[in-house]
Homo-oligomer: A and B are copies of this chain.
Amino acid sequence: MKFTLFARMTAEFVGTAFLLMAVVGSGIMGERLSGGNLAIALLANTLATGAALVALILTFGPVSGAHFNPAVSLADASRRGMPWRETPAYIIAQLLGAYTGVMSAHAMFSLPLVSASRHNRSGTAQWFSEFIATFGLLSVIWGCSRLRTSVVPFAVGAYITAAYWFTASTSFANPAVTLARAASDTFSGIRPADAPGFIAAQLIGAAAATALFSWLVPSLPAVARDVLVPHASESS
C-alpha cells in the first residue's frame, strides 16, 4: 500500500510522541513510586520503554517504517532505503512528535509543560556508551530487516530493554529523543548542554553500524527497503 508523505509524517509524529510519553512518563511514575530505589525506578522505565517500542513499531511500521529516530532515517537514506529529499520531513515530524510527547507526559503528571533538565550526563564514558548503544541499535535493525522483517519490532524492543541497563547512559540512542528529554527536568532528562555530545556519539555509532552491515550483507538495502520504508516503490 502506498502512503502519502504527509500520512507517513503523521505516523512518525504520533509514534515518536508516544515513545517519548513512554520514556518520560514512566520515568516520572517510577521515581514517584519507588521510594528512592533507583533500580526499581529504572526497571519500570525499561519495561515501559521496551514494551512501548514493540507496540508502536507494530502499529506504525506498515505506514512509515516506524523510524521515530533521525539516526535511523539518515542511515536508511544513506543506503537508499528512502529518498534523501524525504529525510528532512521525517526528522521534522520526529522532532515535533518528541516535544509533543514530552509535553503530554508532563501534562499527564501535572507538571509544567517544559522544564530544562539539570541531569548531568557528560564525559567520555557517557559518549562511548551512546556510541555503543546506537551502534547496537542500528546493527539490530540492519541485521533483522534483511531476512526476518516481521521480527524487527520485537528485536528493537528487546535490544533497548537490554541497553537501558548495559550502557552507563541508559541508551538514549536517538537524537530526537535526546533533544526532547533535555526539556524534561525529571528522572529521564538530560542537561541541554550535554545533548550535543550525545547526538554526535549517536550519529557516529549509527554510521559505523551501517558501514559494518554494508560490508557484511552487501545486498541489504534492496531487502531493507520493503521493511523499513514500505512506500519506497511509490517514490522510485
A55 B155 Cβ-Cβ under 8 A: yes
A179 within 8 A of B: no
The answer on a CB contact under 8 Å between B144 and A59 is: yes
Report how far A129 CA is from B21 CA in the complex, Å: 11
Q: Check if B40 sits within 8 Å of A143, measured CB to CB.
A: no
In the complex, residue of chain B having the shortest beta-carbon distance to the beta carbon of A129:
B108
CB-CB under 8 A for A39 and B47, given A58-B140, A109-B168, A154-B54: no
A193 at the interface (CB under 8 A from B): no
Compute how far the CA of A108 lies from the CA of B34 in the bound complex, rounded to whole angstroms.
26
- Contact present for A166 and B216 (CB under 8 Å): no
Query: Per DSSP, are chain A's interface residues mostly helix, strand or loop, or mixed?
Result: helix
Interface centre among A35, A148, A167 (most CB of B within 10 A): A167
Contact B29 A166 (CB under 8 A): yes
* Contact status A140-B29, CB under 8 Å: no
Q: How far is the CA of A139 from the CA of B66 in the complex (A)?
A: 14
Cβ of A117 under 8 Å from chain B: no
**Nearest-neighbor residue (CB-CB) of A150 within chain B:** B148
Contact partner of A25 (CB less than 8 A), chosen from B59, B140, B166, is B166
Among A10-18, A71-79, A80-88, A89-97, the stretch that binds chain B is: A10-18
A174 is an interface residue with CB less than 8 A from chain B: no
Interface string of A29-40 (1 = CB under 8 A from B): 110011101111
* Binary contact readout A160-185 vs B (1 if CB under 8 angstroms, 0 otherwise): 01101111110000000000000000
Contact of A158 among B24, B51, B143 (CB under 8 A): B51
Point out residues on A near B: beta carbons under 8 Å: 1, 3, 7, 10-11, 14, 18, 21-22, 24-26, 29-30, 33-35, 37-52, 54-56, 58-60, 62-63, 104-105, 107-110, 123, 125, 128-129, 132, 136, 139-140, 143-144, 146-148, 150-151, 153-159, 161-162, 164-169, 212, 216-217, 219
Those 9 A-B pairs whose CB atoms lie nearest each other, nearest first = A25-B166, A59-B143, A26-B165, A52-B162, A33-B39, A34-B39, A55-B159, A48-B165, A51-B161
